[in-house]
Structure 1
Amino acid sequence: MAAAFMELRMDQLPTDPLLHILSYLDFRDLMHCSFVSRRLNELSKHNPLWKSQCCKHWLLTDDDRLQSGVSWFCLFKQYYTDLGRYIQYYAVLKRAWEQLKSFLQQRCPRMIASLKEGTTEVELNDIEAQIGCKLPDDYRCSYRIHNGQKLVIPGLMGSMSLSNHYRSEVLLDVETAAGGFQQRKGMRRCLPLTFCFHTGLSQYMALEPAEGRQMFESFYPCPDQTAQDPSAIDMFITGSCFLEWFTTYVHNVVTGEYPIIRDQIFRYVHDKSCVATTGDITISVSTSFLPELSSVHPPHFFFTYRIRIEMSSSASPEAACQLDSRYWKITTSDGNVEEVQGPGVVGEFPVMTPGKVHEYASCTTFSTSSEYMEGHYTFHRLASKEEVFHVAIPRFHMVCPPFREPVVRTQKALASYTPRFDDHDDDGEYCDGDGDDFDDLRGINMAALEGAWCPRHI
């Protein structure tokens, strides 16, 4: 009785207030309203209502609608028929891809040509049948937009260069990923997401909760070198699901968190508070963890850090100076402290003049998963070598990603591990001094709104 009364009252309202009310509803509620009465069924098809839905869920524009030649309502139906199962992911992933492509077009244009067009539902279903596992919907949705990247260098998912070590990770297309699907003990039901030609390194996604992994999390595998069983695989965790993994990376790229060096994305992270200015010279530091050179057992965590030295452009010419030496104080999370000093940086003694920037990278290893470094450089003025002064290097922290051991480790560490610190002499490391250095509403029946549009499950 109350429902019938409410229906009557709603039908008595003028059209404009009703449309205003309907404009606050999501597409699910609009569809539900179509079942209430004939009048609401008609109003629920009001074209401007569906323009907002198309913009919200499919990121469509007026140009897209004009090009399609159909109404906003029909355009929403077309997209929902094709991509309805991904409606909770599509807008986020589509926006991330568009932001990434816009950024790459300006900063790394050769990467644009390596992106592959989206795959199809049929192809994704065939891949699932091939590997015998379901792919998560956020992964499928992203691959409907772009099917990864061609196997080229540089890789879309970031590079790293140190001395004679180079890594560049390609975002694998789904067909290549399926070819690397793992069924071996220790890596069962794991699908590769990335691949590096130089190191053989891949990030994987767990398609089932097995062997200590959580479902759909991404990780770098790390063999337990102290176990006799080669299937004992530790994991450096990089994301809890594909959506988080991919969108976090894109955010870091497009916001400038990751520097672009020679048309490649380098995965250095800069803490904005990690900046120190002494007089006319500013020092800033960014860091990166290298999983391919690290291990949990034995504990060996490899980090690289990149330092930017900049002299203010407003400094007087008499302020010109040259770096003579460096001093480091290194503190690990277990309280051990080491002090290191030596001449120059990366075997160089850079001269700083007003407006000049000098950048270099070095690396270190620790037996603890987190630590910090701080120190100072010693400079002398070019006009007077007797005028010597220190420039502070801000404290910067190096923390490895969360890691997890397999459920069962077959053997304890074979021998005690002696912590090793690099001598921090910076010699021979990568250096780039040019200063320019990523309600489960099942069975929604849109046919109730118009025609025989088949229901989709979301």
Structure 2
Amino acid sequence: MLVELSDDIIAKIFGFLEVNEVLQCSLVCKSWCRVARADQIWHTLCERYFSPNTLKSLITKLEENAISVSKSYCSESVSLGSEDLGFTLANRETQRGEVGDTSGSSESSTASDSPTALCGTKACCCQARKALANLIEEYGNSKSSSCSKYLLFKAFFRHFSRGSYYVSRIAKLLDNLETFCRRANLPAARTLLPGVDGICIERQTGTELPGDIYCLYRLCSGQYIPSDYSQFQGILGGYLFYDVLVDWNLYSICSGTVTSLGDRRILKIGQDLFWHNNRGSQGLFVDLETKHVIEKTQNHYVIASKDTVTYLEKYVNDLCSNHLMIDRNTKQILRFSLSATYSGHSDVVTGYIRIQATCLFVPGISRFSDNEEQDEFVFAYRIRISMLSSAPSHYIYRLEQRHWIVTDTDGHVENIRGPGVIGEHPMFRPGSVFDYASCAPLRGPVGKMKGSFTFRPLHYESDAQAAAPFSAQVGELQLNFFECYRFPPEAPERYLQLQERWEEGNNILC
């Protein structure tokens, strides 16, 4: 027996659905189409797709986009479902059209001379952005019946299309990233570009991008790096040791092209400005089929994250939680983790000497292949040595020697001894700090290292005798590729087996 449900019950059921499912239900019959327009359904969807916590940031970015870009011929990508319900079922082919007043064909000249005007839009598209910002602001301020939730979501979905699901997350991470850089007084705080229009993105890349990448560039089209680049401005951080200098920036979509890596189609989303022995640029890439964020090694690649938004969220969370280092001199964000929960971190105090150590895997100069003898997994490590301020004011120490014990994946142990560190013998007084970075190559993806530094006191005690030399310990560092990276399916079987053991929770470290 068929039971006819009331409109209220149907509306409550629709409230549990995603936007695509609501649109599909609206095609069933006229009564369902009428229910599908109810504001209570679209109010729920508005809350789900752009949360109240990110409304202010989203409004700001839309308004910035509307006034900051000009020149190039762009239009909005519009696609609508049935009976003017307003927008497409997700990921269907779209028809080209323009949003807003189609008579607005004149180009805006606003900020045409600005160095950030790398990509632009027609005036009608700027008006559409501004209109959407006004709708969202009205919704956020009042949430009253005067704001049609259905019309708001329709405008929202038209603007962001297939990337709408990611808007709240991306707006939040970009806002947190900019806020952190401003508070830390980093040059990178002033380099993020406004977003661009969808058709501009597709014309530049020549392909349809995954939803998260598409949405990212709709809100932020990359990072502007001046031609007279002289400072560390990469907003995604970097590292420096010996002749390896990396400073990651968020790659501009205006320079983006789809390239090949074997049988994979990849798009660059992040680029370093320097590299090892001038070998050329490396970068962060996204695999357009799997959505994985990848980094190239010398002869292969490794997977850094399952998708771009997850990668950026983790990075920004680490940054805002003060888990990453900031170089006090260069104002560069360093990718070395300061988190005590990270196994590649140690912090030990011996007497009045404190030694903090942290490490990271460096894909760009690592290599792995079917020939195990030629494999080299390079881990950079950074050491911070300080003398406690509580030490007696007349105490003076000189670093004399270093000793490292490095164990690789197969259990092979290497002892490394030498005078000083990086050719220096730093002196320490109460409150002194000395930072340096180096690297440890392994013949496998996991290992460990520990060691000590020998200090010679240069002060004299009350009996006029110089104190004896002593060793300050460096806590054990776990060199673990798997904490931040994954091997691709075509990696050598022995490494895939280690990866499987790690994912199952088994101890694979020496």
Fold in common (TM above 0.5): yes
CA drift at 1:76: 3.9
Contact kept? 2:49, 2:168, Cα under 8 Å: no
CA pair 269-41 structure 1, distance change in 2 beyond 3 A: closer
Match for residue 286 of structure 1 among 342, 358, 366: 358
Contact kept? 1:373, 1:395, Cα under 8 Å: yes
SS in 2 for 1:317: coil
CA pair 67-143 structure 1, distance change in 2 beyond 3 A: closer
SS in 2 for 1:124: helix
CA–CA distance in structure 2, aligned partners of residues 332 and 39 of structure 1: 64
Partner of residue 468, structure 2: 387
CA pair 407-330 structure 1, distance change in 2 beyond 3 A: closer
Q: Deviations over 1:37-79 (max 9, x none)?
A: 98997673898x7875575278225996689557262544432
CA–CA distance in structure 1, aligned partners of residues 188 and 9 of structure 2: 55
CA pair 321-60 structure 1, distance change in 2 beyond 3 A: same
Contact kept? 1:27, 1:53, Cα under 8 Å: no
CA–CA distance in structure 1, aligned partners of residues 152 and 39 of structure 2: 17
Partner of residue 221, structure 1: 296
Q: Deviations over 1:74-120 (max 9, x none)?
A: 54443233225323211111111111011111225421332111011
Contact kept? 1:192, 1:202, Cα under 8 Å: yes
CA–CA distance in structure 2, aligned partners of residues 407 and 369 of structure 1: 12
CA–CA distance in structure 1, aligned partners of residues 48 and 413 of structure 2: 58
CA pair 96-392 structure 1, distance change in 2 beyond 3 A: same
SS in 2 for 1:362: strand
CA–CA distance in structure 2, aligned partners of residues 97 and 335 of structure 1: 43
* More off after superposition, 258-267 vs 380-389: 380-389
Contact kept? 2:55, 2:136, Cα under 8 Å: no
CA pair 71-334 structure 1, distance change in 2 beyond 3 A: same
CA–CA distance in structure 1, aligned partners of residues 56 and 441 of structure 2: 51
Give the unaligned 5+ runs of structure 1.
12-17, 209-214, 225-233, 410-458
CA–CA distance in structure 2, aligned partners of residues 78 and 41 of structure 1: 14
CA–CA distance in structure 2, aligned partners of residues 402 and 53 of structure 1: 31
Partner of residue 266, structure 1: 334
Structure 2 residue identity aligned to 1:328: W
* Structure 2 residue 220 is matched with structure 1 residue 143: no
CA pair 390-136 structure 1, distance change in 2 beyond 3 A: same
Contact kept? 1:309, 1:359, Cα under 8 Å: yes
Contact kept? 1:370, 1:399, Cα under 8 Å: yes
SS in 2 for 1:91: helix
Query: What are the within-5 Å matches in structure 2 for residues 264-343 of structure 1?
Result: 264-272=332-340, 274-297=346-369, 298-343=374-419
CA drift at 1:171: 1.9
SS in 1 for 2:475: strand
Contact kept? 2:221, 2:253, Cα under 8 Å: yes
CA–CA distance in structure 2, aligned partners of residues 9 and 192 of structure 1: 48
CA–CA distance in structure 2, aligned partners of residues 88 and 206 of structure 1: 20
Structure 2 residue identity aligned to 1:248: K
What is the root-mean-square deviation of aligned Cα atoms in Å?
3.7
CA–CA distance in structure 1, aligned partners of residues 48 and 36 of structure 2: 17
Query: What are the within-5 Å matches in structure 2 for residues 106-145 of structure 1?
Result: 106-127=183-204, 130=206, 133-145=207-219
SS in 2 for 1:314: coil
CA pair 366-408 structure 1, distance change in 2 beyond 3 A: closer
Structure 2 residue identity aligned to 1:265: I
Count of aligned residue pairs for this structure pair: 378
TM-score relative to the length of structure 1: 0.71
CA–CA distance in structure 2, aligned partners of residues 177 and 75 of structure 1: 32
Partner of residue 403, structure 1: 487
Structure 1 residue identity aligned to 2:397: C
CA pair 315-35 structure 1, distance change in 2 beyond 3 A: farther
Q: Deviations over 1:284-340 (max 9, x none)?
A: 111122222221132012222111122222233255433222221111121111112
CA pair 296-186 structure 1, distance change in 2 beyond 3 A: same
Give the unaligned 5+ runs of structure 2.
60-132, 139-145, 276-280, 461-465, 494-510
- Taking only the aligned residue pairs, the percentage that are identical comes to 22
CA–CA distance in structure 1, aligned partners of residues 259 and 310 of structure 2: 22
Contact kept? 1:101, 1:112, Cα under 8 Å: yes
